[in-house]
Amino acid sequence: MRGLYGYIVRRLLLAALVIVSVGVITFFVARVLPSNPAALYAGSRPTAEQLQRIREAMGLDDPLPVQFWHYLGDMLHGDLGVSFRTRQPISTELGRRLPATLELVALGTVFALLIGVPLGVISAWRPGKLFDQVTRVIAIGGVSLPSFWLALLFQLFFFGRLRLLPLAGRIDNIVSLEHPIRQITGFYLIDAAATGNWVAFKSAALHLVLPAVVLSLYSLSLAARMTRAKMLEVLSQKYIVAARALGLSERTIYSRLALKNAIIPTLTVVGLSFAWSITGAFLIEVVFNWPGVGKYVADAIVTVDFPVIVAVASVVAVTYVAINLAVDLLTSAIDPRVKLG
């Protein structure tokens, strides 16, 4: 148990170093970009006196190290600052938009596991056959092709050509007016199901499909390739040969022996892909006009709203580090052979 506590303490100290480093880099890069945040905050046609008062109130005339010190102190007190563009607290806006992103990322991760792992298992069952070759091509394409290009392609095909799925947004405008979702958690599927609003549930589910599928392709491809590689490695082990010699069925060998040992690296990859998807969702949200954190920070980048840029970068860094630690601990719990170091 002491080893576990020591490992967690070391990882937390390393996480703090990573988060501070991300904050420093993002803060100074955002500050050196050519922009006029005072004018952005003041609105249209401000006077020179108004701009100067805003700059003094926000501390924009202070040296960059002093600005960063103030920002770091606010962060430690849970204050992420105020958006120059919307004039709203960033923490409030993140809290309102985060459920949309998490709902999208969670469904994408489910798709990756439910589709990627079976594809990898079947490919390893018949290596070199047609199914295996097709799966490998799909996996390479899913990893290599740009997500925003795939998003546009899917929109063109499933909405423009087939008219099967919605083009963009989180719910139909008419449905949101006639059957509004009562906000409980911010997750549309959960809130609609909890209140029995099945019309809105159907609309929200249909709007989720395209962006979630596009977002899942990267993780799905990694899961398929990792599962296939580890399955082939495990199937070549001596205990698998012994199991076949004892007359165990192929189904038992694949499901209870091979997959159990091959799934751990796949879960690690998918877990880290979940964290990656939070940032990978940014372009997807822009293409599908999804009102999540990605769309929020994309608008901030266009207007050089650097308090939002720095705050989101810090939150994403914290999320990634936390998920990375959770995946390591889960892997060690599943497989005692994995040592925490």
* Inside any domain, residue 20: yes
Distances in Å between the Cα of 199 and the Cα atoms of 67, 104, 188, 206, 289 are 49, 19, 12, 11, 21
What residues in the chain have per-residue pLDDT under 70? 1-4, 7, 30, 32-36, 38-44, 331-341
Query: Left (φ > 0), alpha (ψ -120 to 50) or beta: where does 338 sit?
Result: beta
Per the structure, the count of domains in the chain is 2
Residues 128 and 23 in one domain: no
Q: What is the pLDDT of residue 209?
A: 93
Q: What is the pLDDT of residue 336?
A: 59
* Inside any domain, residue 201: no
* Inside any domain, residue 190: no
Which residue range(s) make up the domain with 21? Answer: 2-76
Cα–Cα distance, 224 to 120 (Å, whole number): 4
pTM for this predicted structure: 0.80
In this structure, which amino acid lies at residue 209?
V
Cα–Cα distance, 187 to 97 (Å, whole number): 10
Q: In this structure, what CATH number is given to the domain that contains residue 223?
A: 1.10.3720.10
CB 111 within 8 A of CB 220: yes
Residues 11 and 140 in one domain: no
CB 225 within 8 A of CB 215: no
Q: Write the pLDDT tens digit of every residue in 7-55.
A: 677 777 887 787 778 777 777 776 766 666 766 666 667 777 777 777 7
Q: What is the pLDDT of residue 339?
A: 57
CB 224 within 8 A of CB 120: yes
Cα–Cα distance, 119 to 171 (Å, whole number): 31
Q: Write the pLDDT tens digit of every residue in 193-231.
A: 999 999 999 999 999 999 999 988 888 888 888 888 888
